[in-house]
Amino acid sequence: MTSSPYFAPVNNSISTFKDNIFEGKVLFCTGGGSGICKGMTESIMRHGANAVIIGRKFDRLTEASRELSERTGRTCIPIQADVRQPQTLQAAAERTMEYFGRIDFVICGAAGNFMSPISGLSENAFKTVIEIDTLGTYNTVKATIPHVRATKGAYVHVSATLHYRGTPYQVHVSAAKAGVDAISNVVAVEEGPHGVRSNVLAPGFTSGTEGMRVMSGNKTNKTEGFSNPLGRFTEIHDVANVAVFLFSPAACYITGQVLPVDGGAEHLRGDFFPYPSSVVDPSSVRKLLKGKM
């Protein structure tokens, strides 16, 4: 008899963790208006925390904060800021302190992505992604670290698995996320003696996100050519569950780590599109490519 492959369930953090483990805590999250970061914010709020979400699009932030507050019964406030501009993050941190009086947890999640070969990638496009992901992470740490020291809190940085191997058309994101991983490691070493922890989450291809839309050419349920030991794409809940764990007292001795949340896909990863034909003839994947910003 032939057995069917295992297909991992999708669990919600409230089925595992107590609902009050973050009572009285405050989360500061860049990129929290949508996608993975919004999902992580919701899960952390469901366990008792209040939150501030930061981004450039105030309309999106306002709607997201309203939804998060209604779903969780906690307070979420939107603050418009650009992670590339340190002064706006400093102002966001100061406003958070005025409103809540503390910052316990920080998610560095602002990111940008698109597909482009190096030969078609402008210097400005490469620089923009580095500024959002890498410099934005640095700026967020700088703006919040005095407050996180005071609460002996923790950082979670959102990275990726793209730079573990060479990923065609992703040189900008690969370089940016490698920098994010390095920043987290240094924060862990420098700030550990002050009681601050720092870890990285590296989601795999995650359903229902902008990154998945970009990588799959708008086909968010595309599975052909995809292999995963646990049988499916990453879900936002999967990443949120790990964020809850990393901020929880259960992870009090975990710092300076990078945790891929990809169902083991990286061990089997091939190319997301045909290789080498897609590199020799970029026109074959033209719909996915954006050469300049």
> Do the domain assignments include residue 177?
yes
The pLDDT, as a whole number, for residue 211 is 60
The pLDDT, as a whole number, for residue 229 is 86
- Reference 198, options 137, 240, 239, 143; nearest CA is 137
Query: Per the residue annotation, which of 25, 34, 116, 177 is the catalytic one?
Result: 177
The pLDDT, as a whole number, for residue 265 is 86
The pLDDT, as a whole number, for residue 89 is 98
> Do the domain assignments include residue 3?
no
> Do the domain assignments include residue 83?
yes
Is residue 273's pLDDT more than 70? no
Mean pLDDT of 34-54: 97
What is the CATH classification number for the domain harbouring 102? 3.40.50.720
- pLDDT tens column, 188-213: 999 999 999 999 999 988 776 666 65
> Do the domain assignments include residue 278?
yes
- pLDDT tens column, 84-109: 999 999 999 999 999 999 999 999 99
The tally of CA atoms less than 13 A away on the side-chain side of residue 278 is 16
> Do the domain assignments include residue 235?
yes
> Do the domain assignments include residue 266?
yes
Active-site residue flag, 177: yes
In which order are the strands placed within the sheet that holds 197-203? 76-80, 50-55, 26-30, 105-108, 154-158, 197-203, 258-261
Active-site residue flag, 57: no
> Do the domain assignments include residue 149?
yes
Structure-token match 């709607």, residue found: 63
Could you tell me the pTM of the whole model? 0.90
> Do the domain assignments include residue 7?
no
Query: Per the residue annotation, which of 159, 184, 216, 278 is the catalytic one?
Result: 159
Domain holding 43, by residue range, is 22-288
Mean pLDDT of the chain: 89
Tally the domains of the chain.
Answer: 1
Q: How far apart are CA 180 and CA 176, in angstroms?
A: 6
Confidence bin at 293 (pLDDT 50/70/90): very low
Confidence bin at 218 (pLDDT 50/70/90): low
